Amino acid sequence: MSTVGNLLYRLLLKYSPTGREEEAVEELSRWASEKGLQTWIDGIGNVYISPPGPKRALVLLAGHIDTVEGWIEPGIDAGRVWGRGAVDAKGPLASMAAAILELSRENPGCPAAAVGLVGEEGDSRGAWFLVSQNGVPPYVVIGEPSGGDRVVVGYRGGFHAEIECRGAGGHSSSPAIGDSALDKAVRLYIALKNAYPGEEPGKPSAAVTGLESGEAWNVLPRKALLRVDVRVPPGHSLESVKDELARLAGDHGCSTRFSQGVPPIRVKTGDPVPRSLVRSLLQQGVRPRPVVKMGTSDMNILGPRSESIAAYGPGDPRMAHTGYEEVSIRELELAVKVYSGAVRYLCRSTGKASAAELPS
């Protein structure tokens, strides 16, 4: 059986939605120990794998071990593996771990490690912990599904908006003379759909993901709350989009509260990490394509603290967060070769970069 396919199946058997990653973390650590690799868990719950030796890395393969909610019964056959997280993002993480195993059998010329970060689908606490501990190595490869032939050189940033609409209310028998907060919220919802439809990747999008309102059958609502997920592409600032949303909400008599959010990121294709992934794909006979993804990832957080970063991974990103996730074993094994090849290239061309101490 495929080493990486078997590892992915083992990880999929451990349900690990954000905040409940412990069993999957222990399973990955157990696998690494079985293979003679060094493994440890840091103070926030991230799990690391490296060849035996100092807990340092010049190159970090950074995946995430948490998933969105929703159990999908895992399975494996000769050609594919399926289950919650097979695509996003235990598939990339399994390939990264298998790449470290492959690299441990040789001397690539510099220290490298893989990490399964916790909380990526939530508050990214695993990535933020790495930042807080000054543990971001110079070169970082993010493990996210990219279709196997695409190198991700950018992600949109984003933030959350809570928009509160208020009204005087009134009797439901006379809505024409009342003042319904829900009416304001619905009009604002339509305005948001028109202003930020999300049809063009180069423009901000705003998706209403929740609406709360209502007091009683015969009372016009005096309060309505919209939850909005806002994504901001490279070339736009979070603050400018927040200002636009606040003005739009104010025009409808509503007020806004924003999360801090993370800014968008875009790197040059000629930078060391994307170049290493492109070269590695070419060595495998794959013609790579640079892309900017519509979502956000831990690349947005770790990128500004690294010297070079990019994302790559097996799996069709259109399957992420769906009711059915599957990835081919062929694509998983290709990713192992691409990751290990990229590490070798970076180790040969590191220049004056220094390895970082990893949290332990």
Can you give the CATH number for the domain in which 213 is found?
Answer: 3.30.70.360
Specify the pLDDT at position 201.
Answer: 83
Q: Compute φ and ψ for 113, nearest 5 degrees.
A: -150, 160
Residues 13 and 76 in one domain: yes
* pLDDT grade for 273, boundaries at 50, 70 and 90: very high
Residues 194 and 73 in one domain: no
Specify the pLDDT at position 56.
Answer: 96
Is 165:118 a contact under the CB 8 Å cutoff?
no
The parent domain of residue 204 ranges over 157-258
Residues 143 and 166 in one domain: no
- Give the pLDDT confidence of 70-87 residue by residue, as tens digits: 999 999 998 999 999 999
**C-alpha neighbours within 13 Å on the C-beta side of residue 348:** 9
- For 42-102, give the secondary structure using H, E and C: CCCCCEEEECCCCCEECEEEEEECCECCCCCCCEECCCEEECCCCCCCHHHHHHHHHHHHH
Of 77-81, 91-95, 347-351, minimum mean pLDDT range: 347-351
Residues 131 and 274 in one domain: yes
Maximum CA pair distance of the chain?
79
Specify the pLDDT at position 351.
Answer: 67
Active site positions, annotated: 66, 120
Residues 68 and 134 in one domain: yes
Domain boundary among 258, 274, 305: 258
Specify the pLDDT at position 108.
Answer: 78
Domain boundary among 258, 293, 318: 258
Residues 271 and 193 in one domain: no
Residues 283 and 240 in one domain: no
Angstrom distance (rounded) from CA 311 to CA 333: 17
Residues 32 and 174 in one domain: no
CATH code, domain with 47: 3.40.630.10
Q: Please enumerate in sequence order all residues whose Cβ is within 8 A of that of 28, keeping only pairs 6 or more positions apart, or say none.
A: 7, 11, 39, 47, 49, 65, 93, 97, 116
Work out how many domains the chain is built from and give that number.
2
State CA 29 to chain mean position distance: 21
Residues 168 and 128 in one domain: no
pTM of the predicted model, to two decimals? 0.92
Burial 42-56 (b: 16+ CB within 10 A, else e): bebbbbbbbbeeebb
Domain boundary among 201, 231, 258: 258
Residues 104 and 148 in one domain: yes
Angstrom distance (rounded) from CA 294 to CA 202: 9
End-to-end CA distance of the chain: 33
Checking if the pLDDT of 350 tops 80, the result is no
Residues 236 and 269 in one domain: no
